[in-house]
Amino acid sequence: MGLVAMYLLPENPTQEILLALVLFIYVLSVVYFTKRAYLYMLKKGFKRNVAVYYNRKFIHILAGGVVAFITPYIFTSPLIPLIFALVIAIILYIPHYKSRELSWFQVEDNAYEVNFCIAWGLSLFVVWTILKNPYYAIIPPLFMSLGDAVTGIVRNAVYGKRTKAWTGNIAMLVVTLTIGYYYVGIHGIVPAVLSTIIEHFEIPPLLDDNMLIAAISTTSLILCKLFF
């Protein structure tokens, strides 16, 4: 246990906390910048639900995706990224708790963006801790951030509403296979395929596609690397 605790401690805590604060400000800036995108889409005649759904996916990419990509280059431990992901989850949950949702990307009937933050942080933490490789650790967050985002964008463009049509999963498969193979080679294929399939399903309100993607990609990636 002592060795695990030592491994989880960042090499330069002060520097990494400062970098995390910069990313924290960046993420919040992305969230608030999308309000402009929301107003622009409404002005152009988009339905509100379509504009909101696009914004959720923009945030997936610009916040979750960008931060995941650069995480291995600036952090030496998964602990700080996990903590900040959970802090952002709490911040996003507060408007739901007060029934004062941020209308440009939050909806009243689910808080899946909160689940996204939790799943993002936990999946990165678990993979990094077990496989001890930050580049493997960002695969589940990237599947969620980029793969799921592309899925939603395609479905929104085709159907104009939130749906689980397989059309989106085909687009997602291209993204997840590319990410998985780039970072871990052939070991990334199985997690990519399983994550793409599981995205099609959800068990509301307890389990949404973010949590399912994170769970299946984390588990299958670890098993593939350890045993195959």
Distance CA 125, CA 143 (A): 15
Identify whether 205 is preceded by a cis peptide bond (ω within 30 of 0): yes
Q: What is the pLDDT of residue 115?
A: 95
Q: Residue 5 pLDDT more than 70?
A: no
Q: Residue 2 pLDDT more than 50?
A: no
Distance CA 215, CA 173 (A): 17
Residue pLDDT, tens place only, 136-149: 999 999 999 999 99
Share of the chain above pLDDT 70, in %: 96
Q: In the numeric block, which tokens belong to residue 17?
A: 């906390």
Q: Residue 163 pLDDT more than 70?
A: yes
The predicted model scores a pTM of: 0.93
Rounded to the nearest integer, the mean pLDDT of the chain is 93
Q: What is the mean pLDDT of residues 52-67?
A: 96
* Residue extents of the structural domains in the chain: 2-227
Q: Residue 57 pLDDT more than 90?
A: yes
Q: Which amino acid is at 152?
A: G
Q: What is the mean pLDDT of residues 201-210?
A: 79
Q: Find all residues with CB under 8 Å of 165, minimum gap 6, and list them.
A: 155, 158, 159
Q: What is the largest CA-CA distance in the chain?
A: 58
Cβ neighbour number for residue 138 with a 10 Å cutoff: 27
Q: By the 8 A CB rule, do 177 and 189 touch?
A: yes
Q: By the 8 A CB rule, do 209 and 201 touch?
A: yes
Residue pLDDT, tens place only, 37-48: 999 999 999 999
Q: What is the pLDDT of residue 73?
A: 97
